[in-house]
Structure 1
Amino acid sequence: MSDLDRIDRQILEALQANGRLTVAELAEKVSLSQSPCWRRVQMLEQAGFILGYHAQLNRKQLGLSVHGFVSLKMKDHSLATAAAFERAVVALAGAISCQNLSGGYDYQIELVAGDHDAFAKLVREIRAFPGVADVYTSFTLQEIKTGGALPVHG
């Protein structure tokens, strides 16, 4: 990240806040003309700093009112078991993120579902995934911060 200058950081901050900015709007925000601004955006994309542009959807409007986390321990930690488990998680509709953790649990999966019955069905599916030994589920009571921006200032 040390290769980024102040303008690159400003571009990344602006695009995180609004990925729909036109090149003209972005160039104005970072005090560049359009061509150099566009070249910098392309360079940031090619260098892997920008992975894509996405719409942030309202899960409740989509009927996904239940949100929670499943923390789990694995029976064993072989590479084959981990790979099979991770493939199953990637294919699971309703799983919106999954992290391999240090500490008391091996993985944490973030889930959304239309109701508690649908959430329970997802948890039952997860219990049957390769290598799963113990599952702990918690529900979100209130979302305080979601979709946070990454800090890009030096």
Structure 2
Amino acid sequence: MDTANLDAIDRTLLTALQRDGRATVGELAEAVSLSTSPCWRRIRHLEETGVIAGYHAHLDRDRVGLGVLGFVQLTLQDHTADTTSALEREIMALPQVLSCHNLSGRYDYQLEVVAPDLPSFSEYVRTRIRALPGVREISTNFSLKEVKRTVALPL
């Protein structure tokens, strides 16, 4: 399903679900002025077509003991398919890495990494990140203050 197939009701439903993933079908139906059955069918269709990829609890990282957020930029030794596939496969298995982006520009990848404190973060980068396949150079920046974080897409 592409965005051309999303009508105003779908967009309103998706916005409401992004705001509150625990909303009941009745609450969602009321928000889009539908009865519950057609609303439920729309939600199921959005799930089945992959527009809704899942439902998640948003945790406060400080309250779960992950007070350090850092951005780790990687430059690779080479850009062969074997190297990048091995790197990406290993990154996928690292729970401390919240996101990984293949970049254009000076660095090849940027990782968003969490840790309980600076010594833990430092140890993690030195032992786990540096050991990733093909890594030639690492640069790290720390978040001093998170101004905005959202996973809600603008519809």
The two structures have a TM-score, normalised by structure 1, of 0.96
Give 2:92's aligned residue: 90
CA deviation map 1:90-144 (0-9, x unaligned): 1113111101111111000000000111101221111111100110000000001
Residue 153 of structure 2: aligned partner: 150
- List alignment gaps of at least 5 residues for structure 2: none
CA distance in 1: counterparts of 2:81 and 2:151, whole angstroms = 32
The correspondence for 1:5, drawn from 4, 7, 24, is 7
Deviations 1:18-59 (A, max 9, x none): 000000000001111000000000000111100000000010
Aligned residue pairs: how many? Answer: 152
Residues 1-154 of structure 1: matches in 2 within 5 Å?
1-124=3-126, 125-152=128-155
1:88 CA drift (Å): 1.4
CA RMSD of aligned residues (A): 0.8
Q: Deviations over 1:69-93 (max 9, x none)?
A: 0011100000110011111111113
Secondary structure in structure 2 of the residue aligned to 1:48: coil
State how far apart, in whole Å, the 1-side matches of 2:92 and 2:34 are.
41
Residue 148 of structure 1: CA displacement?
4.0
Aligned-partner SS, 1:119: helix
* C-alpha distance in 2 between matches for 1:139 and 1:75: 24
Aligned residue type for 1:149: A
Deviates most, 74-83 or 115-124: 115-124
Q: Percent identity?
A: 55
Q: 1:112 is matched by which residue type in structure 2?
A: V
SS at match of 2:5: coil
